[in-house]
A and B are shown apart, each in its own frame.
Chain A
Amino acid sequence: MIATHLPILQVVIPLMAAPLCLLLRRPRLCWALSLAVSVIALVIALLLLGRALSEGPISYALGNWSPPWGIEYRVDVVNAFMLIIIAAIGTIVQIFAPRSISHEILPSQHTLFYTLYLLFLSGLLGVTITGDTFNVYVFLEISALSTYALIALGRDRRALTAAFRYLVLGSIGATFILIGIGLMYMMTGTLNMADMAQRLQPMLDSRTALAALAFLGVGLTLKLALFPLHIWLPDAYTYAPTVVTVLMGVVTKVWIYVFLRFAFTIWGQEFVFTEMHLQDLLVPLSLIGMLAASTAAIFQRNVKRMLAYSSVAQIGYMMLGVSFVSQTGLSGTIVHLFNHALLQAALFMALGAMLLRVGSPLLDDLRGIGRQMPWTMAAFVLGGLGLIGVPLTVGFISKWYFILAALEKGWWLVASLILLTSLLAVIYIWRVVEVAYFQQPDPNTTPVKEAPLSMQLPIWVLIMSILFFGISTKWTAGLAERAAAWLFGGGP
C-alpha cells in the first residue's frame, strides 16, 4: 500500500513537515524533525532507485488522474540517482547544522532556518521527481523562494544584497523557463513530459519551437550558473551561512538534471545539440567557465569565495560533459553530479568548522590552522585532493570520463584544457595548504580548539565516501553509465 505511494511521499512529507516545524517553534525539536524527514526522504529515494532498477520506470498518477491529463510523477534511473544526491546531502547537512548555525544564524531565526530547509528540500525533490513540465515550475518557485530567504539568514549584511541579487536573476531565469514551458504548451497542448516529447517532434521546425528552446536554454543555464550567467553565484555562496552554501551546491546540480531532462528526453539530443548548434555554444562556454573561474579562484583572499569560484568551474566540467553528446561524456556528468556534491559538501563543511572556531574565512586568518585543527584541516586537504582529481578520490573518476570523452571525439585541445584546469585546482588548494601548515598563527590571537564531534562526524563521513567511491565505483559510475544509456535511449 505505502510502497505504491512512495513517489508522492517523497515530496509531501517534507512539504507537510515545514508548517509543522513552524508550529513546534523550539529549535531542537525542529532540528529533530528535519533530520528525521531528511532520513526518511533518503530511505524513500533509495527504495525508489531499487524499484526503478528492477522494474523499470515508475509512473505515479497524482490523485489517480491518469496522465497525460493529470500530473504524473515519474522515476527512472536518472532522477532516482538525483533524488538520492539531494536527500543524502540534506541528511548530512542536518547532522552538521546545529553547531554550525549556532554562530552563523541568529538564535531567534533557527526555527525559520529549519522550516525553510524543509520547503527547500520538498522543492528540489519535487523538481526532480515530477514528469510534468508545469510542476517543474511550481517546485522551482518553492525551492527558489526558500533559497533566497535562506541566504538572507546570513549574519553578514552583505548576505542581503547577495540574496536580492540572486532573487532578481533567479526570477528572470524562472520567468524564462516559464515562458519556454508556456510556448511548448501552446504548441503541443500538453504539459506531460512524455506526451510532450512525442507531440513536439513534428513541430520542431516551427519558430515557436525555436523561441521555446531559446527561452528554456537561457533560463536553465542561468539557474545552473553556467558561465557567463554565473554572476549571482559567488556572492550568494560567500555570504550565505555555511550550511546554506552546502545546500545551494545541490541546487545547481538539480538544474543540470532538469537541463538533461529537457534536452535529452523532451527535445531530443539530435535537435538540441546538432541541429540547433547548442554544442558549438556550450563547449566554449563550459571551457571558458572552467578556466576563468579556476583562475579567479586562485586570486581570492576569502576561502569561501574561492570554493564558490571552484564550484563555477565544476559546473563548467559538468556542462562540458553534456555537450560532448556522447555516452562517455554524459556518464561523466552524471557521476560528477554525485562526486562533486560530496566534494563540495566536504570542503564547505570543513571550512564551516574552521569558521566556527576562527570566525573568519579569510586566508590570512587561517594561518597555522593545520596545527590547531589537525583533523578538520586534514579533511580539507583530502577534499581538496578530490577536487584536483587525485586518484583514489571521486574527482579522479569524473576526470577520467571527461578526458576519455574528449579523446573519443579527437578533441585534443579540450582534453588538455581539462587537464590544465585540474592543475589550476592544485594551485588554489595549495595556497590554503601552505597557509595552514607553513605559516605561524598571529601571536595576538588566542589559539583555537579542534571542531566538535557533531561537525567532525559528518565531515569525515563525506571524506570516507569520497575515498570509497573513488575506489569502488559500481554504484556511482556504474549507475551513471546506465542513466546515460537511458537518456540516450530517449525514454521519458
Chain B
Amino acid sequence: MAVRGWAVNPSVSLLVAILLPLFAAPLIALLGRRPNLREAVTLTTGGLLFLNALALVGPLLDGQRPALVLAEILPGLSLVFELEPLGLLFALLASGLWIITSLYAIGYMRGHHERNQTRFYVFFALAISAVQGVALAGNLLTLFIFYELLTFTTYPLVTHHRTPEAQRRGRIYLGMLLGTSFFFLLLAIVLTWQLTGTLDFRSGGILTGKADGLLLGVLLALYAFGIGKAALMPFHRWLPAAMVAPTPVSALLHAVAVVKAGVFAILKVVVYVFGLDLLNETDINTWLIYVAGGTMIIASLVALTQDNLKARLAYSTIGQLSYIVMGAALANGWGVLGGGLHIVAHALAKITLFFCAGAIMVTLHKTEVSQMRGIGRQMPLTMGAFFIASVSIIGLPPTGGAWSKWFLILGGLETGHYVAVGILVLSSLLSIGYLIPIVINAFFFPAQDNGGLKEAPTLSVIALTLTALGCLVLFLYPGPLLTLLRLMGVF
C-alpha cells in the first residue's frame, strides 16, 4: 500500500486526528479578515486529516490495534484512543466529507451572505475534532467525553443566526441531548464501571456474567435512550430543531457527524460492551428492534407531512438512523455489517440531499416542497443528484443504500425477526412516498417563475455531484468497506 510508508507511527496518528482540527480552529479565527486564506486552512486541514486517517488503514489491515493513553482522568480510568475498524471507518467518513462540505460551505455561505463566517468555520473545525475523538475513542469514558464535547461545539453552529427562533430551538437541541446523555448515558457508564471495573471496548463484551437479565435490560435501555444523538423516539425532537442551522451544518453534522456519532456509539456498545453472544443468550434486545422499527415507521409518516424540505429530510434521517439501531439490535453479524455499512451509505445519500436543499435555497430562495415544481429544469444537475441520493435512501440499486438494506434484511431473516424485515420493506415504500414526488414535480412540470438555467454556486454544485457519485461508487465497489468491517470480527 502506498499510504503505508507515509505513516510515522500509528499511535501518533491517533492523536494527530484530534489535534489537527483543534489547532486549525485558532488559526481560522486569526485569519478572520482574510476569507480566502481562512478557507484554505479549513480545506488543507481537512485534506491532511483524511490522509492521516487513510494512513491508519495499513496498520489496521496488518492486524495492529495501536492505542494511546493520554491522561489518567480517574484512578484506573484513562483518556485513551485506540484504532478500531468501525471507528476508523467513521473517522474516514467524517474527515472525507468535511472536505466536500467545506467546498460546499464556501459557495453557500458566500452565496447566502451569511454573517459571522469566521465563527462558523472555527466551531466547525472544533466539532470535527470532537467527532474524531468519538471515532477513535478507546474506552467508554473517552467516547462519552467527546460525545459531550460534540454537543457543546455544535450548539453555536445550530444557533448561528442568533435569532429568537434559533435561541428557542437551541434550547431543545441542548436540553434534549444533554438531558439524555447526563441522565441515562452517564448513569449507564457509571453502572457499567461499577459492575465490571473496566470501561474498555473488548471483542465479546465486558458484561458477560456480571449482571442478571433484568439489570442488563435496564442497562441496554439506558444506553439506547441515553445516546440521544441516535434520535431514537421519543428522544428525537432535537434533530428537526437543529435544522435552524445554516445548511452545511445540517448536511455534515446533522446528517453525518453528530447523528452518526450516536448510532456509532450504539454499535460500539452493543458489539464491544455487551457482546452479541450475551444479547442473544439473554434475549434483552428484542424490544429495541421494535422501538427502532416504530421510530422508522413513525418518522417516515411524519416526513410525508412535512412541507419544509429540510424538516422532511430531518425526519427521514430519524427513520434512517433507526436502520442502524435495528442492525445493532438484531445482534448478529449481518445486522452489524448492514448497520456499519449504512453509516456510510446513508451519510453519502443524506449529505447530498441536504446539499441540494441548500443549493435550492441559495439559488431560487425556495424552502418548501410545494414551491419546487419545475425546478429540475432550472437546476438539472442539482436535481439529478437529488434523484440519485433519493434512490439510495430508498435502498434500490444501483446505489450504496441497496447493500446496507440487503444485509439488514438478511440479518432479520437469519434471526427470525420477520417483523423487522416487514418494517424495513414498509419503510422503503414510505421513503419512496416522501422523496420521489419531489423529483417528479421538479422534472415533469414547467418552471414556475419562467427563469432559464440557474445553477447553484459552482463549488456547491461540485460538492453535491461528488457525493451523488459516491452513492453510485459505493454500489459498484463496496469491497473495501466490507473488508474493513470484517476486521471487527463478528462475521
Task: Tell me the A residues contacting B by CB distance below 8 Å.
Answer: 385, 389-392, 397, 399-400, 403-404, 407-408, 415-416, 419-420, 422-423, 426, 430, 434, 437-438, 470-474, 477-478, 481
Within 8 A of A (CB), among B278-336: none
7 A-B pairs whose Cβ atoms sit less than 8 Å apart in the complex: A390-B148, A399-B186, A404-B193, A420-B183, A426-B174, A426-B175, A426-B182
Residues of A within 8 Å of B152, CB to CB, are 385, 390
Contact B167 A392 (CB under 8 A): no
Say whether A391 contacts B183, CB under 8 Å: no
Known: A392-B145, A392-B149, A434-B167. A415 touches B178 (CB 8 A): no
Contact in complex: A391, B144 (CB < 8 Å): yes
Interface contact B178-A408, CB-CB below 8 Å: no
B182 touches A430 (CB 8 A): no
Is the pair A397, B174 in contact by a Cβ cutoff of 8 Å?
no
Which residues of B are found within 8 Å of A390, using beta-carbon distances? 148, 152
The 4 closest A-B pairs by CB, nearest first: A391-B145, A438-B167, A403-B190, A407-B194
Does B190 contact A404, Cβ atoms closer than 8 Å? Answer: yes
Query: Chain A residues near B141 (CB, 8 Å)?
Result: 391
Closest Cβ–Cβ distance, residue B133 to chain A (whole Å) = 10
Q: Which single residue of chain A is at the shortest CB-CB distance from B156?
A: A437
User: In the complex, what residues of A have CB within 8 A of residue B162's CB?
Assistant: 437-438
In Å, the complex CA distance between A400 and B77 comes to 11
Q: Is the interface of B mostly helix, strand, loop or mixed?
A: helix
Tell me, in angstroms, the Cα distance from A397 to B149 when the chains sit together: 16
Q: Which B residues lie at the A interface, using CB under 8 A?
A: 71-75, 79, 141, 144-145, 148-149, 152, 159, 162, 164, 166-167, 171, 174-175, 178-179, 182-183, 186-187, 190-191, 193-194
B194 adjacent to A419 (CB under 8 Å): no
Q: Are B74 and A423 in contact (CB under 8 A)?
A: no
Also in contact, A403 and B187, with CB within 8 A (given A423-B178, A423-B179, A438-B167): yes
Residues of A with C-beta under 8 A to B171: 430
In the complex, residue of chain A having the shortest beta-carbon distance to the beta carbon of B191:
A407
Q: Are A471 and B182 in contact (CB under 8 A)?
A: no
CB–CB B186/A473 < 8 A: no
How many contacts between A and B, using CB within 8 angstroms? 69
By the criterion CB–CB under 8 Å, are B79 and A471 in contact? yes
Q: How far is the CB of A415 from chain B (nearest CB, A)?
A: 6
Taking a contact as CB atoms closer than 8 A, the residue among A389, A400, A434 that contacts B190 in the complex is A400
Residue contact A474 to B72, C-beta cutoff 8 Å = yes
**Contact status A419-B175, CB under 8 Å:** no
Known A-B contacts: A385-B152, A420-B183, A423-B183. Give 6 more (CB < 8 A). Answer: A390-B148, A407-B190, A423-B182, A430-B171, A430-B174, A477-B75
Closest to B184 in A: A419
Residue of B nearest to A404 (CB): B190
In-complex Cβ contact of A471 among B71, B159, B179 (8 A): B71
In the bound complex, how far is the Cα of B171 from the Cα of A397, in angstroms? 26
CA distance A416 to B191 in the complex (A): 12
Alpha-carbon distance between A389 and B73 when the two chains are bound, in angstroms: 14
Residues of chain A contacted by B187 (CB below 8 angstroms): 403, 415-416, 419
- List chain A residues, Cβ under 8 A from B73: 397, 470-473
Complex Cα–Cα for A433 and B193 (A): 33
Q: Which of A392, A397, A426 contacts B74 (CB 8 A)?
A: A397
Provide the bound-state CA to CA distance between A45 and B72, in Å. 25
CB-defined contacts of B74 to chain A, threshold 8 Å: 397, 400, 473, 477
In whole angstroms, what is the CA distance A385 to B152 when docked?
10
Q: Which residues of A contact B182 (CB under 8 A)?
A: 389, 419, 422-423, 426
B residues near A470, Cβ cutoff 8 Å: 73
Question: Smallest Cβ distance from A182 to chain B, in angstroms?
Answer: 42
Question: How far, in angstroms, from A391 to B462 measured CA to CA in the complex?
Answer: 39
Say how far B487's CB is from chain A's closest CB, in angstroms: 29
Contact B75 A391 (CB under 8 A): no
Is the pair B75, A481 in contact by a Cβ cutoff of 8 Å? yes
Give the distance in Å from the alpha carbon of A238 to the alpha carbon of B466 in the complex.
59
Give the docked Cα–Cα distance between A416 and B145 (Å).
20
- Measured in the bound complex, the distance between the Cα atoms of B169 and A434 in whole Å is 12
**Residue among B72, B174, B175, B190 with the most chain A CB within 10 A?**
B190
In Å, the complex CA distance between A314 and B400 comes to 52
Distance (whole angstroms) from the CB of B104 to the closest CB of chain A: 27
Docked Cα-Cα span, A478 to B74, in Å, equals: 8
Tell me, rounded to whole Å, the shortest Cβ–Cβ distance linking A398 to chain B: 11
A472, B72: Cβ atoms closer than 8 Å: yes
Known: A408-B194, A471-B71, A477-B74. A403 touches B186 (CB 8 A): yes
Contacting residues, chain A, for B149 (C-beta < 8 A):
391-392
Instruction: Give bound CA distance, A422 to B74, whole Å.
Output: 20
Question: How far is the CB of B388 from the nearest CB of chain A, in Å?
Answer: 39
Q: Name the distance in Å between B226's Cβ and chain A's nearest Cβ.
A: 11
A473 is contacted by which of B72, B164, B183 (Cβ under 8 Å)? B72
Contact B194 A404 (CB under 8 A): yes
